[in-house]
Amino acid sequence: MLAAARGAPGTRGEEGTMGSGALRERIADALRQRIAGGLQRGGLRPDDRLPTTRELAVDLDADPRVVAAAYRMLADEGLVEIRPRAGVFVAALPGNSALPGTPPTAWMADVVAQGIARGVAVPTLAAWFARATTGRPTAAAVVAATLDQAMGLARELRDDFGLSAHGVLAETIRPGERLPRAVERANLLVATELTAPFARRLAERLGKRHVVIDVRPDLLSPEWRLLLTRVAYVVIADPRFGALVHALVEGVEGATNVRVLVAGRDSLSSIPPEAPTYVTEAARDRLGRTSLPGRVLPPARTLGAESTLLITRALVERNLAAK
C-alpha cells in the first residue's frame, strides 16, 4: 500500500513541472486501478455510472481537462464508455486486459502454444496446470514481527495463491513451549526480512520448507501517489507497524501527509469523510463491522516478483510430488 517510490504528483501546480501528458497517464492509471478493483470486489458492475470529470477533478485536485483526457484513454481501452450529456459509465464488456486477475488472452495463448511446441497436448497441459496449482491443500504460516504484516501477508497468500494461510507473531514462538497451531500444521513457513533468521532456524528444526519474501518496489499505488498531496490515513492494529509505515514513505513527496492511527487506541472519528484511508487486514479484523468515515482504499498486492516465484515454485513442487 505504501512504498519508497519517488514523487506524488496530482495537484494543479505540478502540471507545469511534469507535463499534462504525464499527469494524464498517472490519473488514468489510478482510475484504471480504482475501476478494476471495484469490478473485482463487486462494488462496480458494467454500465454503472462513474464520477463526473468535475467530481474527480476535485477529488484528485487536478485540472478537469486532464481528468477528461484520462477518461478518454480508458474509453479507448474499452474500460469505460463516454456518453454525451449522460456521463461516463463502466463499459458493458470491459476489455479483460484492463482487469487485474483476468488472464490476458494473448498470454494464455502463448502459454498453450509453448506447451504444444514442447510436445504437450492441450488436454494434458490443462490437467497438469490443475494438478500443479490445486493438487492438494497447502498450509502456510507467515512469521512476522507485527500483527499487521502477519495478517496482511496471510490474506494475500490466501487470495492470490489459494493457500490456507495464517499469520503468526514471531514473539509467540518460544523455546520449550508448544508451537502455535498454524506453525504445526504448516507445509510452508513464510518470513519477512526481519524475521528471516528466526524462521530459517525454525524451519530447519521442524523440517519444513521456508521462503523469505520481499516487497514490490512499486508498492505505492497510482492512487496513493496522487492522493498524498493531502492528508491520508493509515489505520493499523499493531502500534509497532506505525514505525514501518513512516520508514517506508520516508523521503517520498507527501510523506508528511501520512497519518497513522491505531484501531482500538486512537479515535477514528477524526478522519474526514472523503480522506483517503488505508486499513490493514489486522485493523479490519479488530474493527469488525465498524464503519470508517474516510474513503477506504482497497488492499494492494505487496509481494515482489522474486517472492511470487518462490512461493509458486514451492506450491507447484509440493503438488506435483503428490502421488
In the chain, where are the structural domains located?
12-98, 103-134, 136-216+304-321, 222-296
The CATH code that applies to domain 136-216+304-321 is: 3.40.50.2300
pTM metric for this prediction: 0.74
Strand partners, 88: 82
Per-residue pLDDT reduced to its tens digit, 179-202: 999 999 999 999 999 999 999 999
CA distance linking residue 226 with residue 254, whole number of Å? 10
| Phi, psi at 45, each rounded to 5° | -135, 155
CA distance linking residue 206 with residue 193, whole number of Å? 20
Q: How many of the other CB atoms lie within 10 Å of CB of 323? A: 2
The CATH code that applies to domain 12-98 is: 1.10.10.10
For the record, the C-alpha cell of 33 comes out as: 486501478
Dihedral sign computed on CA atoms, order 152, 156, 158, 159: positive
Only one residue has cell 512504498, namely 3
Per-residue pLDDT reduced to its tens digit, 268-303: 999 998 788 889 999 999 999 888 887 787 777 788
Topology agreement, domain 12-98 and domain 136-216+304-321? no
Choice among 52-66, 162-176, 217-231, 263-277 with the minimum mean pLDDT: 217-231
Cβ within 8 Å of residue 126, ≥6 positions away: none
| Antiparallel, parallel or unpaired: β 87-90 and 80-83 | antiparallel
CA distance linking residue 93 with residue 42, whole number of Å? 15
- What pLDDT does residue 21 have? 77
